[in-house]
């Protein structure tokens, strides 16, 4: 296993309440994880900590073999970790512009942006939606736009908060089918979810929050 991110003694308190007390968190490169746990157990909070959206106390932290501190949140992690919200916020421009945005603000050249956006649109199966306004898209379509928008940034770690919640049928299956391809391209993925089909995906490792601690389960066997 090539470690991407390791955190020792991760602690999170809200007021006097200790929510998380994790001895060891180890995320391997190009590995998919599902993060499970009862409602209110701290799944979203843990993902927000990893994304730099929430503070926490930690002992030794290593990202890409480099010792870092979680606060201030390091540039190396900000550049490599992308968080996808359950209800992604989008600009009222076209789907293509939304996908291009992250690359444009990073100063990537126009022709390369166009190429990557095109590739991501095809990957996500949303070619027909390229010129649509995101506000009018269905939940499943929005989730696929959000995944395409994350993918163009070539993240080392993708954090997906309930990627299939509120989706059913084909929309849900389309989103689930995209996950293994992200891992195949070298990204690690952590999905906070209750979706049994995501939890059972081959090659996925389950992490479960229970009473603030993290239980690490076996990696699912490939079919």
**Closest listed residue to residue 199, CA positions, set 26, 33, 39, 46:** 33
Site string for ligand ATP, 8-27 (x = CB under 6 A): ------x----x--------
Quick check: 164 binds ligand ATP (CB under 6 A)? Answer: no
3-state DSSP call for residue 145? Answer: helix
Is cis: bond before 72, omega within 30 of 0? yes
The verdict on 163 binding ligand ATP (CB under 6 A) reads no
Contacts from 125-132 at CB under 8 Å and sequence distance 24+? 125/174, 126/95, 129/95, 130/94, 130/95, 130/96, 131/94, 131/95, 131/96, 132/94, 132/95
> Could you say which of 44, 143, 187, 188 contacts ligand ATP (CB under 6 A)?
44
Nearer to ligand ATP, 10 or 117 (CB): 10
Q: Report if residue 41 touches ligand ATP, rule: CB under 6 A.
A: yes
Candidate segments 43-51, 88-96, 107-115, 197-205, binder of ligand ATP by CB under 6 A: 43-51
Least distance in Å: CB of 54 to ligand ATP?
8
Please report which residue ranges of 167-216 form alpha helices under DSSP H. 169-184, 196-199
Binding of residue 43 to ligand ATP (CB under 6 A): yes
CA dihedral sign of residues 100, 103, 109, 111: negative
Among 2, 40, 60, 184, binds ligand ATP (CB under 6 A): 40
| 98 within 8 A of 173, measured Cβ to Cβ | no
Which residue, 14 or 91, has its beta carbon nearer to ligand ATP?
14
Choose which of 25, 34, 42, 153 interacts with ligand ATP (CB under 6 A): 42
Q: Can residue 39 be called a binding residue for ligand ATP (CB under 6 A)?
A: yes
Q: Counting contacts by CB under 6 A, is residue 199 touching ligand ATP?
A: no
Interface contacts to ligand ATP, rule CB under 6 A: 14, 19, 37, 39-45
């Amino acid at each position: 296993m090539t470690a991407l991110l390791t955190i020792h003694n991760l602690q999170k308190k809200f007021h006097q309440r200790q929510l998380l007390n994790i001895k060891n968190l180890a995320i391997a490169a190009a590995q998919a994880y599902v993060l499970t746990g009862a409602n209110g157990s701290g799944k979203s909070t843990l993902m927000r900590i990893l994304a730099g959206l929430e503070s926490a106390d930690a002992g030794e932290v290593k990202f890409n073999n480099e010792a870092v501190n979680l606060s201030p949140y390091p540039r190396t992690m900000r550049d490599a970790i992308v968080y996808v919200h359950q209800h992604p916020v989008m600009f009222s421009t076209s789907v293509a512009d939304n996908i291009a945005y992250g690359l444009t603000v990073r100063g990537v050249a126009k022709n390369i942006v166009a190429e990557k956006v095109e590739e991501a649109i095809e990957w996500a199966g949303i070619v027909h939606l390229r010129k649509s306004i995101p506000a009018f898209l269905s939940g499943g379509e929005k989730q696929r736009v959000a995944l395409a928008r994350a993918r163009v940034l070539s993240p080392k770690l993708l954090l997906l908060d309930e990627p299939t919640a509120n989706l059913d049928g084909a929309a849900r299956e389309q989103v689930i089918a995209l996950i293994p391809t992200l891992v195949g391209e070298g990204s690690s993925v952590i999905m906070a979810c209750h979706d049994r089909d995501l939890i059972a995906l081959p090659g996925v490792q389950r992490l479960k929050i229970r009473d603030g601690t993290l239980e690490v389960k076996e990696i699912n066997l490939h079919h």
